[in-house]
Amino acid sequence: MHADPIGVLTGAHFLDGDHAACEGAIAAGARFSAGYPITPSTEVVERFSQRAPKIGATFIQMEDELAASITILGAVWGGVKAFTVTSGPGFSLMMEHIGYAVMTETPCVFIDVQRGGPSTGLPTLPAQADMMQVKWGSHGDYEIIALCPNSPQECFDLTIKAFNFSEQYRVPVFVMMDEVVGHMTEKVVIPPAEEIEIEPRRWTSKDKSSFQLFAPCGEEQAPEMAKAGDGYKLHVTGLTHNERGYPDMTPVVQERMVKRLVTKIRDNAEKICITEQIDIEGADVVVVSYGITSRVAQRAIQNARAEGLKVGSLRLITAWPFPEHIIRAIAPKVKGIVVAELNLGQMVREVERCAGGHCKVKLVGHAGGTVHKPEEILKAIQEVVR
């Protein structure tokens, strides 16, 4: 299915990441957003609030992130594609409803423009320190999908991808930006609507007596979708429930239901994991990075190669589910993996886990507030190679 032209500003633009993400959401078909202002994400919804009245969309600024994060879920069940946007402190507030979205298999998108933390931290400065939180921040066992753009263009493209994944797997999907990517202004090319692939909502065609809102379908193991108002008498609850949606709080159903919420993502991980792999074949060292740090790592790798070092790059475009299979394949073949991230060690833990001791894993961490210097990453590459 193609994008609805009404939302698509075809052409070349000079946009920052926040604005590009908003355009991505609109191109993907989002027609509802509920937000709450928080630096450095606010521009995403500010732009949406301006665009909405001219494209048949609705924006409402809610009283807090607790409200915003569930208002979008209500809108989804009312039949539209919806998203919200936030940063660290707001993200923390949204955790309960992220869990609710997972449990009720509500397709939606959350954009987190990461900033320095913890707590109020550095509202106007970057970090990438919510990476574990996006996976584990809500209580209980669950899987989500998280994508990391490293440019305003990717903010546009990956936000569309996020909506598409959310509809395909009936799961909340996260666009993990950071303050630099959000506020850097670059060329963003928005294609014609007919060239933008959109995943439509998987509306059921089953009749009212046979449709089950939580019965898995297809390879995705994700159920088909319905909306309120069509006579299906849906029941949606955060309690452990059966395929009909009725609460069924027993270990048997817990096992069946919660396992499926997890396996629908894990079993499809290879399809969901998008990475950018450069010069991995024959590399002595691979640098793993994502988001803004990957732009710095690019320079460090360039410099390392200029010194004759065989360095490859693995950029995580999908951070979750973590591309375990790729790390497992790389680790036995390299001397070491350097993980550069704008935090004190988050995704590196996944790399270490999957490397399984087959190679050195070196973190180039950073407490946040600014981006790495290429020299820091180069130094780590040189140490690993020795």
Residues that bind other proteins (CB under 8 A): 6, 31-32, 34, 53-58, 60, 62-64, 66-68, 70-80, 82, 96-97, 100, 200-201, 203, 226-239, 246-247
Per DSSP, 358 falls in state S
Judged by beta carbon, residue 34 or residue 354, the one nearer other proteins is: 34
Judged by beta carbon, residue 228 or residue 344, the one nearer other proteins is: 228
Closest distance between other proteins and the C-beta of residue 69, in Å? 8
Residue whose C-alpha is closest to residue 162's, from 350, 8, 324, 21: 21
* SS3 state of residue 364: strand
Peptide bond just before 321 cis, omega within 30 deg: yes
Judged by beta carbon, residue 26 or residue 342, the one nearer other proteins is: 26
Spell out the alpha helix ranges (H) of 279-323. 292-306
Closest distance between other proteins and the C-beta of residue 140, in Å? 13
What strands lie across the sheet with 336-340, from one edge to the other? Answer: 275-278, 311-316, 285-289, 336-340, 360-364
Closest distance between other proteins and the C-beta of residue 336, in Å? 45
61 forms beta bridges with: 35
Judged by beta carbon, residue 84 or residue 87, the one nearer other proteins is: 84
Closest distance between other proteins and the C-beta of residue 238, in Å? 6
* SS3 state of residue 339: strand
Closest distance between other proteins and the C-beta of residue 106, in Å? 10
Alpha carbon distance 345, 315 (integer Å): 16
Whether the CB-CB separation of 193 and 3 falls below 8 Å is answered with: yes
Cβ within 8 Å of residue 320, ≥6 positions away: 134, 135, 143, 144, 145, 146, 174
DSSP string computed for 363-386: EE---SSSPPPHHHHHHHHHHHH-
Closest distance between other proteins and the C-beta of residue 200, in Å? 7
Judged by beta carbon, residue 75 or residue 131, the one nearer other proteins is: 75
Judged by beta carbon, residue 118 or residue 200, the one nearer other proteins is: 200
Q: What are phi and psi of 309, to 5 degrees?
A: -80, 140
Whether the CB-CB separation of 204 and 236 falls below 8 Å is answered with: no
Q: What are phi and psi of 365, to 5 degrees?
A: -90, 180
Cβ within 8 Å of residue 349, ≥6 positions away: 132
Alpha carbon distance 287, 298 (integer Å): 9
Judged by beta carbon, residue 37 or residue 345, the one nearer other proteins is: 37
Closest distance between other proteins and the C-beta of residue 33, in Å? 10
Judged by beta carbon, residue 72 or residue 319, the one nearer other proteins is: 72
Closest distance between other proteins and the C-beta of residue 19, in Å? 20
